[in-house]
Structure 1
Amino acid sequence: MNNNEVKIKNEEFLALYRKIYRFLRNEWDPQKVTLLKNILGDSMSRASEMSEKEREEQLLLIMKTATIIMDEIGLKQPTVGAVFLFHAVTKGHYDISEVKDHFGEEVVTILRGLMKVNEFSDKKSAVESENYLKLLLSLAEDIRVVFIMIAQHLQKMRDAASKDQSIRLALSVESSYLYAPLAHRLGLYTIKSELEDLSLKYTDRETYDYIARKLNETKRSRDKYIQEFIKPVKERLDKTGLKYDIKGRTKSIYSINNKLKKQKVEFEDIYDLFAIRIILDSPPEREKAQCWQVYSIITDMYQPNPMRLRDWLSIPKSNGYESLHITVLGPQSRWVEVQIRTRRMDEIAERGLAAHWKYKGIKEESTLDNWLSTLRESLDNKEDDLKEKLGNFKLNLYEEEIFVFTPKGDLIKLPKGATVLDFAFAIHSKLGATCVSGMVNKKNVPIKHVLKSGDQVEIVTSPHQTPKQDWLNFVVTAKAKTKIRQLLKEEAGKQVDIAKEMLARRMKNRKIEQNDAVLMQLIKKLKYKTVTDFYVDIAAEKLDVNWIIDRYLELESKEGELREVPAPAPAESFVMHSPLQDLTTRDELIIDQNLTGVDYKLAKCCNPIYGDEIFAFVSSQGIRIHRVNCPNAHNLFSRYGYRILNARWSGHSSSNANYSAVLRVVGNDQINIVSTLMSIISKEEGVLMRSINIDSTDGLFQGNITISVANTQMLEQLIRKLSAVKGVKSISRLN
């Protein structure tokens, strides 16, 4: 590191130190702040396992995480104090019992939560199933632990630009699968958007740069349009005497990319690249009235789209979000989204639930209690399938909400798509277990009836009703799914005991001594996945007990014959059989840490080539290798992060290796241009043309050429040669 870099680093360190010091001094006395600084400094100097550079990086990470917590999330001194003390306490340089005396009980509570999560940090990924479970369990202690984790992960993502691709990929998967959904659920929309943008930047730089460049190119015209829209609005608002700010806000690169993919349109065809936000300085008692007053002014000036009205003023979202969203037809007949909210609402929208501490002076329990208690309940049953838990949790993070009413008029929030049975379980587990139908708006409906916002629901029960397996096919809430599984398991357990006793009694009556090994073989032969399923079918009389015993005796008889000892064979007749090898196994890839010789297939959706940045996905059909910028990558990261493995190419690709690639060619329809392209491809060493499909319209030709190449270097070299042909407008590789 040269002198200039050292100077910049020192200046950065001092600026952070001064900012944090001023923040802590607002609430804490100077002795406490000095003690905190000394504890961290002492702990860093004693960290002999770290190099000087690692100490510097760790210290900057701690300080930058603290500033995110202060400035971007808006938490108080105890949370920042916990971040500073964490290293010293976990390394044993400072005892947690001393923390309470010097810094208070709040700091101790947060530290304990952080230490609980840290127990699993030596694993290679925080989104491994077991780690994910422990992380969710830690939510029960103190939600500020999760805010710290999000802040630290955000800083790691900001720093990842200078890291290896494998580190960037791992962090991006964690962002998509865990931290962006958590930030979204906790209302940290700005942080969520940044995590998503950085994930896209690190996994598909080409798309990220394309959208960023397009936004930059259209900035002037966009700003001009925003001013054209805002000017008459400001004139009308000024006459009302309301205090307000009004601004245009461009959507995130990630959300624009989602629109491009979902709507299958060009960048120029996206109409809602930005939203207009009006923020009012309102007294608490006038907030809603003034927001609706602004709504009236806007809709008087511009034609609203009633289908796009979103009223989160009357009933806020469960994460505390309050705002009024309308879409109106602006100048040049362009649809424009307008968001109307107060200063308090805006801070909650930007900082999420953390902002409630500022406005209420206490933790905002009401909006988190239901979420956390449902989560804890779904984690209570240790025997449940872990992937099911994670799936239900993610479903509840993303689903839109509906609002329905009990017969007494109490409001119940449920995810969109919830049924009468979901409602019953939301009220009480016993009500759900005995539910036979529902009365929705005074009309009788079946239990699988899907509810809509505003419905009034009454549950009809029967003491003879018991949960059914098919209920799992239509309920959507985690609480309902978890409870139904638990009740089915309890019922199955009773049935298994009855069936076991019945089989044992019949065998005893026929004077047969039960051999568990033979019985297990029979169960396997009958193609049962579990012993429980076998006994449940006996209890349900799908299997006749006497028929089972007859099959058991046949199998036992065969086993007796097989156990006869064969005659010894002469040594010269012995042939050593080498283990069978799967011809699809290749050693060009290293998967996860240092695994080679693993069977895998290249994904057809993106056709990876030796040299591409790649990752491995553990599918139900085995391991599939995808490019990092595969069109399906984000979906895999966000839904199945626990199945993602690092992968990289090993050594050098074999000259005999053939990887498929499709080139998209666009050019002027000139004489011999296609034959020139084909000639170049045929002369290129190591490249084989497999198919060509060209169409010509209005003086332009465009089409796809499928080739086989050994690596990306060969492919790039070929693309350069083809691009140099006169008349070729563009050549790009298709996913």
Structure 2
Amino acid sequence: MDLARVRAAPAAVVQRITRTPEAAPESHSIEDVVAEARRHRPSLNVGLIERAHEVAATAHEGQLRASGEPYITHPLQVAYYLAELQMDAETLAAGLLHDVPEDTDMALVDIEKRFGREVTRLVDGVTKLSKFGSARTMEEQQAENIRKMFMAMAEDVRVVVIKLADRLHNMRTLEYLPPDKQARIARQSIEIYAPLAHRLGMWQIKWELEDLSFKVLEPETYRKLAGMLADRRKERESFINKSIGILRKELAKVGIEAEISGRPKHLYSIYKKMERKGAEFNEIYDLHAIRLLVRDVKDCYAALGVVHSLWRPVPGQFDDYIAMPKANMYQSLHTAVIGPDAKPLEVQIRTHHMHEVSEAGIAAHWRYKEGTRGDRRYDEKLAWVRQLIDWQREVVDATEFVEGLKLDLFQDQVFVFT
């Protein structure tokens, strides 16, 4: 397949949630889910989560996933991701129950009797429509389901957080499905769910969905790039460690406390840059990249001064997303320099709070909104969804809705696999 640019228009999750596409399968128990949830929310309603698990385990009893594992392993993993995202008990309960109405005999009305309206509304938001006319194609059915999810998301953003966690685990276990189904799910993930995660600022989920989809849709190119990265892993790690050591020493001299780390590389992102810039693998500036987390905005700019005093900046490679945040709430300073041994080095600088938002995006802003009068950025972010829904209410055909959605999600560039 070729990656083709079809349209151009004017113009963050805790890091542990994501992993490489080659990582070993995960398995978490309800005890793991509760422990992770309480680590972030000590006063969490554990009873609600445990009851949801008990009901889901009973409802899914005897069902197996394509991998041969008990079906309950999937909702448990979804709930664990939600716990990592520091979501509330109602969201975790809905994550555990999200497939019950669709795949078992238990109806939504039964869930409402046991768990109340809030949990039921979240479950309903991620549940696929069950009744379609016989003439409906698979594409039309999928479009209707996506449209339904967006309608629910406009009312409660937790719906899409659950759906992204669900999609992430399904993508991580995609290998057990037939090749044609793998391709269909991967294409939908890279065309809808990855850009949706991007639009909502959930960078870590975006990057992993892209890499997992890329691995399925472009296996040869994926393997080639992965091999190139692996071949230079030791060299890259040595260079990063050397750069961090030099920078840490200079920051200490001026009293800046910083957490410095190498930044993981994402194959699909590298591929897009090579395509967009017509560049070779070795010419991509952020093959070597580090991230600085500092105390406040003042330290961000002070640290930038230290970086530029150490190494020569690359012209045209500086972006100030603190003064001018991206539309998806992302804030950071980006610069590229000629680092040690005359090798290019990308440096990102932001506060710890900015980093949390860059990883969790809308989920982080939803947490801040809890118990407060509101979060302006959260409301602005959801305003985009509501405007999209209002605009599309006149579109009768769900497939047209999804095509319009794709164009709206890709504000900068749209790439599709053909």
CA distance in 2, matches of 1:309, 1:263: 17
Aligned to 2:239, which of 218, 225, 230?
225
CA distance in 1, matches of 2:398, 2:64: 42
Structure 2 SS opposite 1:326: strand
Q: Residue by residue, what CA displacement relative to the aligned partner does 1:260-297 show, whole Å, maximum 9, x if unpaired?
A: 333444433434313211011x2xxxx22121111122
**Structure with the greater alpha carbon radius of gyration:** 1
Cα distance 1:164–1:20, how it changes in 2: closer, same or farther (>3 A)?
same
Aligned to 1:41, which of 57, 68, 71?
57
Q: Does 1:330 align with 2:339?
A: yes
CA RMSD of the aligned region, Å? 3.2
Q: Does 1:78 align with 2:90?
A: yes
Aligned to 1:368, which of 367, 371, 381?
381
Other-structure match for 2:4: none
The structure carrying a bigger helix percent of its residues is 2
Cα distance 1:234–1:269, how it changes in 2: closer, same or farther (>3 A)?
same
Q: How does 1:320-469 map to 2 (within 5 A)?
A: 320-361=329-370, 364=375, 365-382=378-395, 387=400, 389-400=401-412
Cα distance 1:142–1:55, how it changes in 2: closer, same or farther (>3 A)?
farther
CA distance in 1, matches of 2:73, 2:263: 31
Q: Does 1:197 align with 2:206?
A: no
Cα distance 1:134–1:53, how it changes in 2: closer, same or farther (>3 A)?
closer
CA distance in 2, matches of 1:385, 1:60: 32
Amino acid in the other structure paired with 2:210? E
Other-structure match for 1:317: 326
Amino acid in the other structure paired with 2:193? Y
CA distance in 2, matches of 1:87, 1:129: 19
Query: Normalised by the size of structure 1, how large is the TM-score?
Result: 0.48
How much has 1:86 moved relative to structure 2? 3.3
How much has 1:79 moved relative to structure 2? 0.8
Aligned to 1:68, which of 74, 77, 81?
81
CA distance in 2, matches of 1:120, 1:260: 44
Other-structure match for 2:163: 149
Other-structure match for 2:122: 110
Q: Does 1:275 align with 2:284?
A: no
Structure 2 SS opposite 1:276: strand
Structure 2 SS opposite 1:242: coil
Amino acid in the other structure paired with 2:125? G
Cα distance 1:183–1:127, how it changes in 2: closer, same or farther (>3 A)?
farther
Other-structure match for 2:260: 246
Q: Residue by residue, what CA displacement relative to the aligned partner does 1:570-611 show, whole Å, maximum 9, x if unpaired?
A: xxxxxxxxxxxxxxxxxxxxxxxxxxxxxxxxxxxxxxxxxx
Is 2:285–2:346's contact at 8 Å kept on the other side of the alignment?
no
Is 1:312–1:323's contact at 8 Å kept on the other side of the alignment?
yes
CA distance in 2, matches of 1:172, 1:53: 16
Is 1:272–1:335's contact at 8 Å kept on the other side of the alignment?
yes
How much has 1:23 moved relative to structure 2? 4.4
Q: How does 1:434-513 map to 2 (within 5 A)?
A: none
Any gaps of 5 or more consecutive residues in structure 2?
Answer: 1-24
Is 1:318–1:367's contact at 8 Å kept on the other side of the alignment?
no
If asked which structure has higher relative contact order (CA below 8 Å, sep 6+), I would say 2
Cα distance 1:24–1:382, how it changes in 2: closer, same or farther (>3 A)?
same
Cα distance 1:326–1:635, how it changes in 2: closer, same or farther (>3 A)?
closer
Choose 120-129 or 203-212, whichever is displaced more: 120-129
Cα distance 1:238–1:391, how it changes in 2: closer, same or farther (>3 A)?
same
Q: How does 1:483-632 map to 2 (within 5 A)?
A: none
Is 2:48–2:89's contact at 8 Å kept on the other side of the alignment?
no
Amino acid in the other structure paired with 1:335? P
Structure 2 SS opposite 1:338: strand
Cα distance 1:314–1:96, how it changes in 2: closer, same or farther (>3 A)?
farther
Q: Residue by residue, what CA displacement relative to the aligned partner does 1:685-723 show, whole Å, maximum 9, x if unpaired?
A: xxxxxxxxxxxxxxxxxxxxxxxxxxxxxxxxxxxxxxx
Structure 2 SS opposite 1:272: helix
How much has 1:323 moved relative to structure 2? 0.8
Q: Does 1:213 align with 2:227?
A: yes
CA distance in 2, matches of 1:266, 1:356: 38
Amino acid in the other structure paired with 1:62? P
Q: Residue by residue, what CA displacement relative to the aligned partner does 1:472-526 show, whole Å, maximum 9, x if unpaired?
A: xxxxxxxxxxxxxxxxxxxxxxxxxxxxxxxxxxxxxxxxxxxxxxxxxxxxxxx
Other-structure match for 1:296: 305
Is 1:79–1:107's contact at 8 Å kept on the other side of the alignment?
yes
Q: Residue by residue, what CA displacement relative to the aligned partner does 1:178-198 show, whole Å, maximum 9, x if unpaired?
A: 111111111121111111111
Other-structure match for 2:5: none
How much has 1:208 moved relative to structure 2? 1.4
Structure 2 SS opposite 1:268: helix
Choose 271-280 or 170-179, whichever is displaced more: 271-280
Is 1:27–1:77's contact at 8 Å kept on the other side of the alignment?
no
Choose 153-162 or 129-138, whichever is displaced more: 129-138
Is 1:157–1:198's contact at 8 Å kept on the other side of the alignment?
yes
Structure 2 SS opposite 1:319: coil
Cα distance 1:329–1:94, how it changes in 2: closer, same or farther (>3 A)?
same
CA distance in 1, matches of 2:107, 2:252: 58
CA distance in 2, matches of 1:133, 1:29: 32
How much has 1:92 moved relative to structure 2? 4.9
Cα distance 1:119–1:293, how it changes in 2: closer, same or farther (>3 A)?
farther
How much has 1:140 moved relative to structure 2? 1.8
Alignment length, in residue pairs?
383
Is 1:39–1:94's contact at 8 Å kept on the other side of the alignment?
no
CA distance in 1, matches of 2:309, 2:279: 32
Other-structure match for 1:476: none
How much has 1:29 moved relative to structure 2? 5.1
CA distance in 1, matches of 2:46, 2:172: 32
How much has 1:314 moved relative to structure 2? 1.8
Amino acid in the other structure paired with 1:106? E
Amino acid in the other structure paired with 2:260? I
Amino acid in the other structure paired with 2:317? R
